Structure 1
Amino acid sequence: MQINRERRKGNEVMNRILLGANYYPEDWDEELIDFDIEKMKECGFNVVRIAEFSWKKMEPVEGEYDFAWLHRVVDKMHAAGIGVIMGTPTATPPHWFVKKFPEAPMLHEDGVRNSHGGRRHCCSNNPDYIRYSEKIVEKLAKEFGGDPGVIGWQIDNEIYHNGIGCCCDHCMKAFHQHLTEKYGDVESLNKAWNLNLFSQAYDDIDDVPVPANAWHNPHIKLEWNLSHFKSHKNFVHLQAAIIRKYSSAPIGTDTMPFNGFDYRELNDPLDVAQFNHYFTDLQKVTLWMDYMRHFSKRPFWNTETQACWNGSTQMGHAMQDEGFVYMNTWLPVMLGGEANLYWLWRTHWAGHELMHGAVLDTSGRYTYANGEIRKASAEFQKVADFLPDYKVKSDTALLFTSLNWNIKLTQDINAAIKNEYGFVEDFYKALLKSGIHPDVIDAKEELSNYKLIFTPTAYTLEEHDFPKRMTEWVREGGVWVVGPMTDIRTGIGTKYKTSPYGSLEEMIGAHLDYILPDDAGKVELTNEEGNVAHGSAIYELFGKGDFEPWLTVTKGHSALIGKCPVFAKQLGKGWVVMLGTLPEEAEFARIIKKAAGIAYAKVYDVDDGIMVTERVSGEDTLYLVASVGGKAGEFRFEGEYVDLLQGTVYRDGLKLTPYELYILKKA
């Protein structure tokens, strides 16, 4: 047995797995740094994130800069073999700035402006905030751009807006400019949004208001969201351009999974996707990492996660089961990432977020999960010289796009769907349970890498010529499982006038008779094997046609009897599987495996909670097998495989305890 140990080229950091924490030296006496470094080395840490909230300490008085303290931190870390990810401090402009520019903070829909006292409290469109942010970033980048101790950059912190966002004059101007660029003139906008309804038509684009304090239509709310995203994106990108003048180290911005951001657009000019999460459901974490991986030019960085428990002014949840922190530490590395950093190194002694867990408590003592952190760290050192060369591979994909996320946020469509991502999480977990570990992709992703693609609640397909590309992909042999409520909206969230769908009916040559909700179990189905089954939430019902029925209505309203919500239609060399309802668990698993069989897609024989990730380097293949669901279970296979962590050989199967991980290679 041999391992492909070819080293990656480029920046030295690419040859390592990074493990560390967020560090706030500005909050502590400077003489503690040596103690902290000693503890970090005990944990096997080789990276810290610093400076993201320290604008005041960098620029205590306008125009007077002090970076000496920051140099001392970076120098000490570098001497100890700990790299620094430098944060730009623009999320926390100091009080002197807010005092000088009182209109820079966000203006809420009720007319109340943010006061100084938190973070991300200023408006991304405010010209004074932008100008002063550019100045501090320029100073910081010039100061540390060539410093060998700085291995990367983090722009701002979790850039987002509270509620509907800022409603100031600058945001209104940006919104109206966005509408003009997209619709051209007010007549086109009125027509596109059907503003004759409720006499809502506007006389000028500049008359379009903030979507607040009224029962506004979903289209104005969608465009408002997209306009705000554009402003945040521009704010990040201008900082990246400044840093790039002085530094060749990777640049990114740490993000959270909310607000409907388009992570592809946000990360497009950046070097590394950075992701923060505090989920306690690790299968939700893997969904996001399987998604974010596609938007990073290098292996992504998990820049924040819990070291023990979450919290703010109070502890956020019960103590996690043993092994949770270990598995949570491994997740980004298992899924193709390069770094995992905890938030935070040491719990704050005063101020905000006093009760959030950390690697050390306030007095400098390890918290309860430190043994799990050290276990993961030791294993990272075992695999760091070869695992990063093995890329994550899957022949199945699950579609999730920012535009569809925003449509869900601005028009619920179906009250039975409680998750803001639609049915994406339901499908992802059902696929894992069925033994399929999918990539999670957006509409721009190259389709030829996949044999099987699922599109749940893809309300609109009007992105990146997706319908045409999918049709060609199916005709060439792909299997498309069209999930519930796919293709029922235009790209601006309106319905189609001549068909319930944008292109599906024409593509599959079938006619939708009815689309109706049922969250009360009034519809009963029978599958093609004669077994009774049930769906949920929605029924898209087709009459008889040139297709293979997989589920047919056999009980319910008489008008529905004999209609098919689930069927398969061959198209060229491939198939379209119309899945017009969310089936109950057992039936859903049967349909998934049947579709995978048609596609010849890879299905692993696993128990619930066990996830298999394929990693490939040239002709070599590794299988990372993990109890991500926190359950004991088994992975069944044929032949002999050796675990590269412990050296043990396993034949025909492997039993896992909760939160256990193996790296298998054919013996």
Structure 2
Amino acid sequence: MAKSIQVDELTLGVCYYPEHWPEALWEDDFRRMRELNISVVRMAEFAWAIMEPEEGRFDFSFFARVMDLAHQYGLKVILGTPTATPPAWLTHKYPEVLNADVDGTLHRHGMRRHYNYSSPKYRELCARITRNMVEAYKDHPAVIGWQIDNEFNCESNVYYAEADHVAFRQWLKARYGTLEKLNEAWGTVFWSQTYTDWEQVYLTRPMANPSPNPHLALDEKRFISDNTISFAKLQGDIIRELAPQHWVTTNGLFGHLDSHALTDEVLDFFSYDSYPQFSTIFPSDDENSLKDRAWSMSLANVRSISPNFCVMEQQSGPGGWVNRMEMASPRPGQIRLWSYQSVLHGCDLLVYFRWRTATMGTEIYWHGINDHHNQPNRRVREVGQIGAEFAKIGGAIAGTTYQAEIALLQDYDNHWDGEFDVWHGPFQWQSQRAWFKQLQYRHIPADRITLRPATTLEDLAKYKVIVYPHAAIMTDETANLLQRYVEQGGKLFFGARTGYKNPTGQVNMRPLPGPVAELCGVTVEDYTMIKGTAKAAEIKGADGRLAEGTKAVGFNEILRVDKPDVEVVAKYASEYYEGEPALTRRKAGSGEAWYYGAAYSEQVVDALIDELRLVSPVANWLEVPAEVELGIRASDAGAYVFLLNYADRPVAALLKQRVQDSLTGVWLEGEVELPAFGVWVFERPSA
């Protein structure tokens, strides 16, 4: 059962760093927060040096004063354990706590997250500051919960300190038991890599040709995830022991971390940091790029961990460090748009980063609600509008969940293996993005879900369509689960490079697509990556199902039909495999298994959406243009339709029924303009 945040109404918060400001500013800050309907502040996650200025000398008076004043103004407090920023005395005295590059070069003091999770000394000191901090603040009436550390695996998600090599060996011993089993799993007979002593085993190390054993590389990522979780659990267990009345969370979704397992084992719910401008700072040659709207794809991932979650940092201004990550200033209306983007996808507690823009340090250009000058500005006014709207609709929306009948399926093993393996990794992103984008533009809500060992048929059966495009690592157990999903009525879509590896990352000696060949009724006879002399073949669908000139991108598999009930939906129309099957469908039970021997493109996805007759859930009473994101949050008590306009101009919507915008109270019908960056929230009318 997924863990969700439990609040009675949509709640607004802000990240606050009182250590950056004169104490004389605090009271005015808290007064103005309350005027904006901000009721929660996050603090202390970077303040270890204040609470333990010297080893073993603790002083918790500073934040006690801050929280006393916050409590007077009716503010609740989320406290962060400060272990993301060890103080200088610690890293100077105990350099073994530092992280290291693959060549062993230590990450020196002066940044953040420059430690390793494996150091026994660092774990000892983190446990001590956490225990003392919780003891000091556990009974304060303002405290409602704890954030463990900050952004696990952000900035760096690989670890090569000496302590990490030691911990990796211990993890491998627990996983494999013997060197014989390790050698078998890693295929070390290749290139005479066989290990005869555990001390010979290391994480990735420098080599002339930077291509480590791929099976080691996969296990390395699994180890990093497990090690991160155990580091988080060390702190989570202390908080639960001393302050069981408080909830525990952390903010994440970074690399080499199973955030589902982290939440299961350590957290009460998952939290996320939402910065939609990250989707806009890298150039794209895609004319129809989703831009900041693409952030909904990440938020959909968060929903799969906690259907209702906290956004611990919501972008409230232009962003950037002194030397990188420059982001444009949000246009008028975009802060509100992005806030409701988070709410649509399941956020019930939204905390802005930050109250006031820092005047010092690396993040002096990572703007908050208030500018450096601390005078009124348009961002403050916009947050005030959001606060007033939360007060109006928050009780109805909180606890409702995002509704979707289509899911994009993924898993950690294939994601991590695909980081290194270019024969399937890039296609995962291509296909997931193509499906998500076209579903977005056609106003068909979709989930992104993660296949895990505990995933059941019940988890999958609520979706009419599941897309699992390039699962190179595939077990017979997974194939059996997917077959049962199809037989009970689901439509399942595979893509090229499915089913050719086992969980160690070794290639199976069986016809492709391996464990799902029987379900799909096809065999891959030949294949080519589309690169160099190989050009993407054109494909043609039966009865004009595909537009002229549609190409099978990324990878081309030539399929052989093995069962008489397989329908060839499209064939290759060029290259040496012209006329051979490219896209097939086979009915099994009440459902269908589709196999496409390439990576999905927008053109192909559009054709499949038409073929499946997928339409927007509000198509009978509402028409909106592609620039608008549509989604629904619902519970037994009711359903709410969100419309978010990402365009910098007004767009026309056609309302075939009279509905009321819950944010303004205005009734709307007929052709109506949704303003630039505008937001509407309707209670869904009865049929």
| Partner SS state of residue 121, structure 1 | coil
Equivalent residue runs for 1:324-363 within 5 Å:
324-363=334-373
**Structure 1 CA distance for aligned equivalents of residues 608 and 70 of structure 2:** 54
TM-score normalised according to structure 2 size: 0.89
Match of residue 472, structure 2, among 444, 459, 484: 459
Match of residue 217, structure 1, among 213, 217, 235: 213
Distance 1:537 1:112, change over 3 A: same
Greater Cα shift, 534-543 or 358-367? 358-367
Deviation at 1:423, TM superposition (A): 3.2
Match of residue 436, structure 1, among 419, 429, 444: 444
What percentage of aligned pairs have identical amino acids?
26
Distance 1:44 1:480, change over 3 A: same
Equivalent pair of 1:640/1:666 in contact (CA under 8 Å): no
Distance 1:480 1:636, change over 3 A: farther
Distance 1:625 1:54, change over 3 A: same
**Structure 1 CA distance for aligned equivalents of residues 103 and 636 of structure 2:** 58
Q: What residue identity is the alignment partner of 1:222? A: L
Paired residues in the alignment total: 648
Equivalent pair of 1:332/1:339 in contact (CA under 8 Å): no
Distance 1:574 1:527, change over 3 A: same
Deviation at 1:370, TM superposition (A): 2.8
Match of residue 227, structure 1, among 223, 227, 230: 223
Equivalent residue runs for 1:264-663 within 5 Å:
264-268=260-264, 269-280=266-277, 281=279, 282-296=292-306, 299-314=308-323, 316-413=326-423, 417=427, 421=429, 423-444=431-452, 445=455, 446-462=459-475, 465-518=477-530, 521-530=535-544, 531-532=547-548, 533-545=550-562, 546-557=565-576, 560-595=577-612, 597=614, 602=617, 604=619, 606-618=624-636, 620-628=638-646, 633=651, 638-651=656-669, 655-663=673-681
**Structure 1 CA distance for aligned equivalents of residues 525 and 519 of structure 2:** 16
Distance 1:390 1:521, change over 3 A: same
- Aligned residue in 2 for 1:187: 180
| 1:518-537 superposed Cα distances (whole Å, 9 cap, x missing partner) | 25644111111235222211
- Aligned residue in 2 for 1:92: 85
**Structure 2 CA distance for aligned equivalents of residues 114 and 511 of structure 1:** 49
Deviation at 1:416, TM superposition (A): 6.1
| 1:582-627 superposed Cα distances (whole Å, 9 cap, x missing partner) | 3543342121232355xx9958554323222122221622211222
TM-score normalised according to structure 1 size: 0.91
Equivalent pair of 2:498/2:512 in contact (CA under 8 Å): no
Equivalent pair of 2:566/2:586 in contact (CA under 8 Å): yes
**Structure 2 CA distance for aligned equivalents of residues 582 and 650 of structure 1:** 42
Greater Cα shift, 161-170 or 338-347? 161-170
Q: What residue identity is the alignment partner of 2:93? A: K
Greater Cα shift, 521-530 or 314-323? 314-323
Equivalent pair of 2:498/2:514 in contact (CA under 8 Å): no
1:15 aligns with 2:8: yes
1:172 aligns with 2:168: no
Deviation at 1:125, TM superposition (A): 0.9
Greater Cα shift, 524-533 or 23-32? 524-533
Match of residue 38, structure 2, among 37, 45, 59: 45
Equivalent pair of 1:596/1:603 in contact (CA under 8 Å): no
Deviation at 1:243, TM superposition (A): 0.5
| Partner SS state of residue 351, structure 2 | strand
| Partner SS state of residue 251, structure 1 | strand
Distance 1:211 1:453, change over 3 A: same
1:196 aligns with 2:192: no
Greater Cα shift, 204-213 or 447-456? 204-213
Equivalent pair of 1:424/1:457 in contact (CA under 8 Å): no
Please list every run of 5 or more consecutive structure 1 residues that lacks an aligned counterpart in the other structure: 1-9
| Partner SS state of residue 355, structure 1 | coil
Provide runs of 4+ in structure 1 moved above 6 Å.
Answer: none
**Structure 2 CA distance for aligned equivalents of residues 64 and 319 of structure 1:** 43
| Partner SS state of residue 31, structure 2 | helix
**Structure 2 CA distance for aligned equivalents of residues 371 and 606 of structure 1:** 28
Q: What's the RMSD between the two structures over aligned residues?
A: 2.5
Distance 1:106 1:587, change over 3 A: closer
Q: What residue identity is the alignment partner of 1:548? A: E
Equivalent pair of 1:329/1:373 in contact (CA under 8 Å): no
| 1:113-161 superposed Cα distances (whole Å, 9 cap, x missing partner) | 2222121112111111111111111111122222221122100011116
**Structure 2 CA distance for aligned equivalents of residues 138 and 616 of structure 1:** 40
Deviation at 1:397, TM superposition (A): 1.0
**Structure 1 CA distance for aligned equivalents of residues 40 and 310 of structure 2:** 11
| Partner SS state of residue 381, structure 1 | helix
Please list every run of 5 or more consecutive structure 2 residues that lacks an aligned counterpart in the other structure: 280-291
Deviation at 1:366, TM superposition (A): 4.2
